[in-house]
Amino acid sequence: MQKLYYKITAIILAAFIILCFTPSCMANPDDSNSYKSSGDTLTDILANYRNDGMTSWWQIVAVYNAGENPMDYKGFDDILGSIIGDDNTVMASYVIVSDIAAVIGADPGYFEKYEEYKTKLKNLLENPLDSNTLNDYIFSYYALKCSGMIFDETSFLNYLSQAQKSDGGFALSGDAGDIDITAFVVPALKLLSSNADPVSSINPALPLMHNDVKFLPNNVGDDGACASVSANATENSNSTAVA
């Protein structure tokens, strides 16, 4: 693994910060007013992780993004040892956390499945199947981009083109776009649009990204809040934060 690629790009980090670590995301998603104030600051959340321990891989990403060393927090070893398996999102999580672990000097034993998982994710992205979910592909794409692995991104772009809903959004199911999933796809489209060949015409990712971005403001409520399918179509803090 080349150390140059251990540092996750700013745009991918932004996606994880928004989805996993925005203080308002810690509020109750069932409370339609919780987007206004969660009561937790970044300092509070870090203190909780340090005292009570981290329990999820995305918390390692969040702590790292906050400029802290995840190895100084309880739960680091347990998390790294738990993200093993054949599930696509688990493998993607392993790759992302392995990159961070390498930077901060964690035991190399944590990386033993790094190359194996990257190869499997590469095959997934280059040969999309309907049996997998949008989450599988998005997480896998971010993981490989974080790692610096070179792969053919054409099939993934074609998959997104077919997955985009008529309203410009994306969702795990149904015919209408979902705020949370749509926001999660935006950074991927941004990265895909940067692959444009200067000699070619319009990059096929650009129309998808324009429609995707338009979907978000079109689905903001009068009070500035957003709703998602995962929150039973009610306004909530997480959807508002990601939008």
Angle at 84 between CA 86 and CA 88, to 5 degrees: 35
Angle at 174 between CA 143 and CA 195, to 5 degrees: 35
Tens of pLDDT, residue by residue over 98-124, are: 888 888 888 877 788 999 999 999 999
CA distances from 30 to 25, 34, 230 (A): 11, 8, 10
Cα–Cα distance, 44 to 67 (Å, whole number): 15
Residue 85: which region, alpha, beta or left (left: phi > 0; alpha: psi -120 to 50)?
A: left
Tokens of 148: 């610096």
Asked if the model's pLDDT at residue 238 lies above 60, the reply is no
pLDDT of residue 140: 93
Nearest to 150 by CA among 126, 116, 130: 126
pLDDT of residue 65: 81
For residue 227, give the 3-state DSSP assignment.
strand
- Which has the higher per-residue pLDDT, 182 or 29? 182
Nearest to 179 by CA among 189, 166, 169: 169
Tokens of 160: 């997104």
pTM comes to 0.75
Residue 40 φ then ψ, to 5°: -110, 130
Work out the number of other CB atoms within 10 angstroms of the CB of residue 83. Answer: 23
Tokens of 71: 């190895």
Q: Select the highest-mean-pLDDT range: 65-69, 84-88, 199-203, 207-211.
A: 84-88
Tens of pLDDT, residue by residue over 50-86, are: 889 998 888 888 888 888 899 999 998 888 888 888 9
Do the Cβ atoms of 125 and 191 come closer than 8 Å? no
